[in-house]
Structure 1
Amino acid sequence: MAEETVTRRPTTVVIGASATGLFAAAALVDFADVTVIERDRLPDRPQPRRGVPQARHAHLVWSGGVKAFDDLLPGLTGEITAHGGRLVHIMGDMVSRAPNEVWFRRFTATHHRNLVCSRDLLDYVLRNRVLADERITLRQETSALGLEGDATAVTGVRIRTNDEESTLRADLIIDASGRGSRTPQWLAELGAPSITEREVNAGVAYATRLYAAPEATRDINFPLVNVQANPAKAPGRGGIILPIEGNRWIVTLSGTRGGEPTDDLDAFIDFALGLDDPVIGELIKDAEPLGDITTT
């Protein structure tokens, strides 16, 4: 009598419940048991997270990203727009000045759409969608301490929840913890060769402030307003107004070395008015600010 073959589903640990970590979990769940470990406690509504400081700046998901979202998680884009996000025409719903200082022609004869919303909303809908899958286990307030294994294979990750330490065995570990990743150090501790790193520092700084959308813009599909930096002029400076859910505008200004925006409240509008075209500054100079300025 032939022996019965028992197949075990592979196990995967994803470090970090970032957008990257959640998309990775969604991609793997049909092939493996997935555990997501997250250092923080995830919010139960759209709001900023300590571990995602860049989320406060303007984000756009271009049409290729929109398609990728819905290919991996069908209907995800519709869920985001149902919560107040927008799908906007490229370039029909945009007022955008190109780097050569020529304004793009606005047209609607295209199937391409940007997904426009706050990063907080995008992450909130994504979390709800992915973590509703019962095949994915979430362990919040859990820190990754290091890797188990040796120079030939990684077999697990050491974790700490509250004051209790343990090891999660895994066939695959994905580090989605972001720029603070300690994976190179952990691999070196296992005797693996050092990882070659190449850094490209563009020297770009960002400053963002939320504004209440002016009353006259609230009942229309107010366009994105974008002034791109001219790379032939140093320092490069640009900005964008991104109308988002909740009748708010995300206003993000950017500049390269020597022309960086700051968190100085008095200087924010002056910076916007000082761009090669002052349209962003003119639109926000009488608008109501919501909170302080965030820089990255």
Structure 2
Amino acid sequence: MSGRPSPAKVAVVLGGSHTGMLAAAALAGLADRVVVVERDELPGEPAPRKGLPQARHAHMLWSGGVRAMEDLLPGVTGTLTDAGARRAPVTTDMVVLSAHGWFRRWPESHHVILAGRDLLDATVRARVLADDRVEVLGGTEVLGLTGDAQAVTGVRVRERDGRERTIDAGMVVDATGRASGTPRWLTDLGLPAPDRREVDSGLAYASRLYLAPEQARDGFPVISVQPDTQAAGPGRAGFLLPIEDGRWIVTLNGTRGGEPSPADDDFVRFAREELRHPLIGDLISRAEPLSGVSFTRTTVNRRYFYERMPAWPENFTVLGDALAAYNPVYGHGLAVGAQSALVLRDLTRRYGWESAGLARRVQKAVARPVGAAWELATGQDVFYPGATENGPTARDRAVAAYVSRLMYTATGNGRIARRVTDVTSLERRAEVLLAPGVLLAAAVGPLKPTLAEPPLTAEELKKAELR
């Protein structure tokens, strides 16, 4: 094709992080040109960037998201693992203290990909930008949308030299994250403000990077000490994820009144004395710190219900944290972003680039993976004092009671543990937990007694210098 493509066949993606890049990959084979508008200058190698402070905290990509990402970028999982990312089977390579005791390490049901966020983003970015149809406008600020209440026709931007201009487009995707301007942009077009819900557990997050003891740099399991959300007082939790280059990234967190300190010299103490078990503190006391503590309070669950809007403009879609942001302790944001980008690709292929109502179809369809992660996060967070204005509803309490019984059963029943991870991995919908066999198993309870100690093998204890 000669010359520049028609604006009707140009897609603009706002935001160049994980979801934005996967959205660009989703559209690259459907548009003649995809322009990613990014406020930061994106690094060419795995490296920090100013607009992504959460990259300093632990991340995991559940297998439901891995499968979606692999569909969009075939072979990317292998590229990640070749670069040092870890594929950890669930729950085989996980040592987890739940509210009801230690989970057994059952045979693999699903998996997670563990890597530093810098490595994950750089790997995805390199794959996406290898396509000549995708380009990045770095150092560029989004000012607003062009068009009207019926259709979006492009975006207004300010480039790094201060020049303002309009980029005409046949499709615009907002993947700018928690700071998204979409609610304001829609009212500027004459549309009503969207419904929004927030559940704020008051969680504070503190993370630190460690070099594992030499003998524990390969094959060490994930360690997770979870809170008891039904207990009185604040919830405190921590997890240790083995990532590339023999490192551990450790995140400690606590809700209102139980927050970790941002001080480096209090990190090990909190892990040892404030969590429900001292295992993580004991492990990191034998490891070498590679960074100071990174601290954040940006953990509120916030969802915009764009799918409920009485009208929705053509050519505009909202994905990722711009649509729904979750308490990061549950680790679902990356997976939902990948699944939503896949929905965008599949529906655009099915109905056609310029089909009437395409944007509304996409917005309604992505509410499914978004809603699944939303229920998992808010179903627990709503019980912390001050999380919502009116506290948990009767439905919240009924659902939580059943989930609590399931989790108790899963400590000693491998089949139920698998059904639970079907849902937490975002591979199956929560309805599988209401199957007659699952209901019966929950009524019976665990088939094996509760473990008294963390299920680390003798070899793992030796690797960690705990024996």
After TM superposition, the score normalised by the length of structure 1 is: 0.92
CA-to-partner distance for each residue in 1:222-264, whole Å, 9 max, x for gaps?
A: 1111111111222111101111111111010011111111211
SS state at 2:51 partner:
coil
> Which residue is equivalent to 1:50?
50
In 1, distance between residues paired with 2:279 and 2:292?
Answer: 21
Cα shift readout 1:55-84 (whole Å, capped 9, x = no counterpart): 211111112122111112111110100100
Q: Which residue of 2 aligns with 1:84?
A: 84
Please state how far the C-alpha of 1:8 moved relative to its aligned partner. 8.1
Alignment-derived partner of residue 98 in structure 2: 98
- Secondary structure of the equivalent of 1:71? helix
- Number of corresponding residues: 287
Output the CA distance in 1 between the equivalents of 2:207 and 2:127.
28
Residue in 2 aligned with 1:175?
Answer: 174
Aligned residue for 2:443?
A: none
Q: Which residue number corresponds to residue 193 of structure 1?
A: 192
The alignment partner of 2:40 has SS state of coil
Which protein has the bigger strand share? 1
Deviation at 1:9, TM superposition (A): 5.8
- Aligned counterparts of 1:92 and 1:194: Cα–Cα separation in 2: 46
- Which ranges of structure 1 fall in alignment gaps of 5 or more residues? 1-6
Give 1:124 shift. Answer: 0.6
Counterpart residue type for residue 283 of structure 2:
L
How many Å apart are 1:117 and its aligned residue? Answer: 0.9
CA distance in 2, matches of 1:60, 1:221: 16
**Which residue of 2 is the match for residue 3 of structure 1?**
none
Question: CA separation in 2, counterparts of 1:205 and 1:57?
Answer: 12
Q: Percent identity?
A: 52
Q: Secondary structure at the match of 1:246?
A: helix
Name the structure 2 match of 1:112.
Answer: 110
Deviation at 1:152, TM superposition (A): 2.4
Which letter maps to 2:184? Q
TM-score scaled by length of structure 2 = 0.59
Report SS of the residue matched to 1:198.
strand
Structure 1 letter corresponding to 2:253: S
Mapping for residues 1-296 of structure 1, pairs under 5 Å? 10-32=9-31, 33-100=33-100, 102-107=101-106, 109-110=107-108, 112-161=110-159, 162-218=161-217, 220-233=218-231, 234-274=233-273, 275-296=275-296
| CA RMSD across the alignment | 1.6
- SS at 1:184 equivalent: helix
Give the drift of 1:26. Answer: 0.9
> Gaps spanning 5+ residues in structure 2: where?
1-5, 297-467
In 1, Cα distance between the equivalents of 2:66 and 2:145?
35
Cα distance between partner residues in 2 of 1:256 and 1:190: 39
Contact 1:152–1:192 (CA under 8 A) maintained in structure 2: no
Q: Distance in 1 between matches of 2:117 and 2:57?
A: 8
Return the letter of the residue paired with 1:208: S
- Following superposition, the deviation at residue 111 of structure 1 comes to 5.0
Instruction: Determine the C-alpha separation between the residues in 2 that align with 1:184 and 1:112.
Output: 36
Distance 1:231 1:179 in 2: 25
Aligned equivalents of 2:52 and 2:212: distance in 1?
25
**Secondary structure class of the residue paired with 1:209:** strand
**CA deviation string 1:184-236 (max 9, x = no partner):** 21222222222222222222211001111112212x31111111111122211
Name which of structure 1's ranges 121-130 and 167-176 shifts more when overlaid on structure 2.
167-176
Q: What is the one-letter code of the residue matched to 1:136?
A: V
When residues 15 and 99 of structure 1 are mapped into structure 2, their CA distance, relative to the original with a 3 A threshold, is: same
What amino acid is the match of 1:180? Answer: A
> Higher mean Cα deviation, 162-171 or 187-196?
187-196
